[in-house]
């Protein structure tokens, strides 16, 4: 099932206070970028983020879910209504990721 544009719009609206948040459509889903780093995406109308230690510590009870068949597990963000939390989550995830093109 592809994600709806309405759910994507909701997530983008919730993240609108962050500079440089962008998305790219990919096979009916949407990859989310913050300052040119992939931080997660919208898959089957679910907001998923990369499972870096900082994100796990902010959401210790979050479920690990596959974005698509064959994909790597990501963290499911259940409550997308709290803008302050989402901002903190995206910034923490960004800070924990290597620079673009840099290997771990």
Q: Whole-prediction pTM value?
A: 0.91
Asked if the model's pLDDT at residue 47 lies above 80, the reply is yes
* Mean pLDDT, rounded, for 16-45: 95
Please tell me what DSSP assigns to residue 45: T
Percent of the chain residues topping a pLDDT of 70: 94
Rounded Cα distance, 60 and 25, in Å = 29
Please tell me what DSSP assigns to residue 97: S
* Mean pLDDT, rounded, for 35-52: 96
User: Model confidence over 11-23: pLDDT tens digits?
Assistant: 999 999 998 999 9
- Which H/E stretch holds residue 53? helix 53-58
User: Model confidence over 56-81: pLDDT tens digits?
Assistant: 999 999 999 999 999 999 999 999 99
Percent of the chain residues topping a pLDDT of 90: 88
Contact 90, 39 (CB under 8 A): yes
CA atoms within 13 A on the CB side of 22: 6
* pLDDT for the residue 17: 93
């Amino acid at each position: 099932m592809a994600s709806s544009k309405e759910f994507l719009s909701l997530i983008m609206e919730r993240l609108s206070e962050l500079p440089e948040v962008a998305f790219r459509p990919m096979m009916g889903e949407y990859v989310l970028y913050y300052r040119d780093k992939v931080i997660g995406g919208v898959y089957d109308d679910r907001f998923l983020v990369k499972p870096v230690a900082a994100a796990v510590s902010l959401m210790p009870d979050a479920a690990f879910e596959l974005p698509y068949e064959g994909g790597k597990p990501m963290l499911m963000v259940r409550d997308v209504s709290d803008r302050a939390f989402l901002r903190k989550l995206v910034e923490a995830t960004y800070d924990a990721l290597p620079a673009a093109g840099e290997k771990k």
